[in-house]
Structure 1
Amino acid sequence: MNADTAPTAAAEPRDAAGRPPVRAATPADAEVITRMRSEHVLSAPFTEDWVRQCTDELAPRLTPEGDARAFVVDAADGTMAACALGLIHPVLPAPAYPRGRAARVQLVATHPDHRRRGYARAVVSALLDHLAAVEDVTLFELHTSPEAAPLYREFGFSGNPALMRMTRHRQRAGVVPGAQPDSTWVPPQQYADSLPRAAAYVCLYVTDEDDRPLQLHSVYSPGHPWHMIGGAMDLGERPWDAVVRECREETGMAAAGPPRLLATVYGLPRERRPYSTLQLIFDGGRLTAEQIRGITLNPREHDEVRVLPLAEWEALMPARDFVRLRAVEEARRTGVAAYVDTWGNA
C-alpha cells in the first residue's frame, strides 16, 4: 500500500466541507481498482490476462451480497484518483469481536498524479467507518509498508506492518512434497491451444408443404453431392446468425426465426481432416411452391434445387448423409431433438 500521509497541495476536487468527495465503489469500478492495484501497489504489474481474471473475480464481490467493499475518490477528469478495498470474512468470535466478523484492508492506492492530497486518508476513513457502522466489523487486519504505517496507526492499527505471508496450493495426489507446484491457472491462449480442434457448421432443414425435404446440389463437393442449406460458421459468429447469412448467400431467402434446433451432429477427425466437426441443424419450416421457385442459387456453390420424398433421397446420397437427413426428418416429426455422432465415420 502506498503512503499518502501529509497533504501538501490543495486537493481537487473537494466537497462543500473542503473534504475529498468519497463515494462507494460499484461493480463497474472493478477493472479500474484492479489496474490501480496492478500499477501502483504490486511490485510486478499484472498481465492483461490477470487484469481480466481479477476484474471478473472482484466485480460480483462488490455487490451488496458480496464480501468486498471499496471507496474511491474520482479526479476532476473522471479517472480514479484513489481507492481503498476491504474484504469481509468470518472468524471465530472473541470478546473483542463477538459477532465473529473481520475485514482485511486488501489495498489502498493513490495515482501518482494525486498523491499527498489526503486522498488515501479519506478513502481509508470512509472504508473503516462503513465496515464498523454498517457491516458490524470489529476486527481489522492489513499488510502495509513502513512508509504508510503511520497513517494506519492514526486509525488505531498496531503491530509490525511487515507480517509474514505464505501462499500454499493444495497438494494433488502423486505430487512429491517439496516439488515445484503446477499452476492451476494458465493464460487463456495457452489453454485454448491445448483444446482439441473442431469446426462448427450450421444447417437449415426446409421442406415443401408436403414435408418432402429440400436439398441443394453441390458443384464443389462430389463426396457430399446433396445437402441442406448451410455452411461453416465464421469466427465469433453466433449459430443462428450464421444460418441467416448462409440462407441468404445460398438461396436469396431470409431465414425466419425464432431458432428451433432439430439436431446436433458430431463428426470424428479423419486422416485428411484432422479435427472434429460439430453441426447444429435448425428448422427452416415449410416452403410454398412459389417460394421454392423463387430460390436464387449461387452458381459457385450449387446448380440445382430438388424436393423429393425422404425415401427417394437415399439412392442419391452417401449413407452417412442420409442417416443425418433421416434423423433430422424424424426430429421435426416427433418434436424430439436428434443427436448423431457417426458423421464422417464411413
Structure 2
Amino acid sequence: MNADTALTPATDPQGTAGRPPVRAATTTDAEAIIRMRSAHVLSKPLDEDWIRRCTQELAPRLTDQGDARAFVIDAPDGTMAACALGLIHPVLPAPAYPRGLAARVHVVATHPDHRRLGYARAVVSALLDHLADVEQVTLFELHASVEAQPLYRELGFTGSPALMRMTRLEQSAAANTELGSPGRLPAEQYAETVLKATAFACLYFTDENDRPLQLHSVYSPAHPWQLVGGTMDHGERPWETAVRECREETGLPVSGPPRLLATVYGLPGAEWPYSTIGMIFDGGRLTAAQIRSITLDPQEHDEVRVLPLEQWEGLMPTRDFARLSAVEEARRTGQAAYFGTWDWGNA
C-alpha cells in the first residue's frame, strides 16, 4: 500500500538451519498462490479459466503500488510449499487504527507434503510482521478453519472462526503509560479483541400435565419449534427480555420471580458468525384457558402446540430437542442445567 516501501527480502523467520527460507512473493508467484488457494483452501477447486482470471487479478496487486502482500516458502523441487496472502484496505481512522489501514489475511495454505513443519506459522508471521512494521497496518482480520484457530490465537487473534481480529498498535506503550497500568490496553481497544456473542432469554411453559409448550416459527426452517422468547435488546437484563418477548409473542403476562432452568451456549458456524449465550426461565404451568388465550404475532409464529416430551423429538432438529430435554429435566429435578453444545450449523 505504501508506494515508497519495498517488500522485505527473503528471510528465515525461525532461524532454523536447513529449512527453506520465507521470502516475499512477487508478481511471478501469483499463479502458484492462486493454485494453492484452489487446491487447499476453497471447498471446490477452480477450473483453468478461473485460475487464469484470478492470476491476472492478483499479479499487478503484488507490487509496491498494489494492495496485496504475500510471503511464501519454496519446496526443494521449485514448487510452492506454503503461502500467506494479505489484502490491505482503508478504513475510517480510530484509536486502534490511526492510519486508517486494515488487512485481511485472505489465503493461508500449505501443501500436504510439507505440513506439520511450522510452515504456516512462518509465512503468516512474516506477513503480519511486514504489514505491521512496513505498511503500518494495525487492524488485522481473517476467517479461520476450526483446525487453524489455535494457531491464530497464539499469534494474537481473538473472536470466532467466522471473524477473528487483532490490533497491533505502535502507540501501545504510550497508551499503557497513560493508563498507569503497563501491559493493558485502553478499554475501548481491548473491547475490540474479546469474544462477541448474541444473547437471548426464553420462558419454558408447560400445561398442567407438564407437557412442553412451543410455538411454530414462520421464519426459521432451521428451528421450526421454539420456546417463548428471543434476542435481548440493548439495555435489557435477561429476565426483562423474557417478559417482554412473552408479551409480544403470546400476550401472556409473566410476574415472576425469575427461576432459572438452564444456561445455553453455542459456538458460531455457517448459520451465524457469533457465539450465542442464553438463559431459559421457568414460565410455569398454564391452564387450558390460558393456552387458548394465547395471541400469536403472525410475523413470527403461526401455531401453539402442547405435546408430551417424547413426541417433540420427531418434529425438531437434534440439538433443539436435546436442549428441550435438558430444560424439562431441570424443571423436573429442580437442578439448573448447562447446555453448552447448541452450536450454529450443527443438526
Larger relative CO (CA 8 A, sep 6+): 1 or 2?
1
TM-score when scaled to structure 1?
0.47
Which TM-score applies when normalising by structure 2? 0.47
